[in-house]
Structure 1
Amino acid sequence: MEKEAKKILKTSIILTIIPFFIAWLMEKEVSTYTLLTNIIGGLVLSEFYFGLYISKEQIFEKKKIWKPLLISLLITIPLIASAIYFAENNL
């Protein structure tokens, strides 16, 4: 299961970074393409990966959220900081 979790994490990171590159290449802050990329990424994760690796009938035990929350923050904070930096400096 750890192998699948790493695949999903890598795919999530790639699907999060792609809209930034699209916006950077098009020299726009927000575009229809970035929104479309985010929607496609969400569908890929929810339909392909989660449907493939997690059955709908499976019951999970409750666990603490701190480790996934920390991983999420470690990914999200640098992305937001770089977006703010590039927006302020018009790079």
Structure 2
Amino acid sequence: MEEKLPKIYSKKAVLGFSIFMSTLFGGILLYQNLIEINKKKEAYIVLGISIAITILTAIVVNIPENPQSSLAYLCGLGGGSFLAYYFMPKYFPNEEQYPKKAIWKPLIIAVIIVAILFALIIYGTSVENS
């Protein structure tokens, strides 16, 4: 009898969330994939690397006098590529055989987080100007 493979987030989902949200979001998706296949140690390593890349991105983006958001996308592309093209093939060499999880749940969570951060920025700016 053939073993049923668990559903995982695709390489494209990990890369996309890393680019458009942050490497931390992509790392969390990959973390969940690794938990699904009972690789907890590897999951925590990936999560730690994702956090480190995200912190490094925040530092790099804020170094210039005029912070450039395009640097955040480039860093997300770099971090996401590392997750998608190094870790995914390493732990999921036959990734295409796994059924894929829908990205709706993480997408909704990401949109809610962005909306909250955006509201806090607007509120903070209005309090500063009053």
TM superposition score normalised by structure 1: 0.57
Q: Does 1:14 align with 2:40?
A: no
Which is worse superposed, 24-33 or 35-44? 24-33
Identity of aligned residues (%): 26
Q: What is the CA distance between 1:29 and its match in structure 2?
A: 3.5
Matched length: 77
Q: How far apart are 1:37 and its partner, in Å?
A: 1.1
RMSD: 3.4
Structure 1: which 4+ aligned runs deviate by more than 2 Å? Answer: 27-35, 57-60
SS of 2:68's equivalent? Answer: coil
Please, which runs of 5 or more residues in structure 2 have no aligned partner?
A: 1-38
Change (3 A) 1:20 1:28: farther
Q: Which runs of 5+ in 1 are unaligned?
A: none
Q: Which has the higher contact order (CA 8 A, sep 6+)?
A: 2
- Cα deviation digits, residues 1-59 of structure 1 (max 9, x gap): 11110111111112222221112211334344332111101100101011111231553
Question: Could you tell me the TM-score, scaled by structure 2's length?
Answer: 0.43
Deviations 1:42-80 (A, max 9, x none): 1001010111112315536x8xxx9xx6xx88xx78xx5
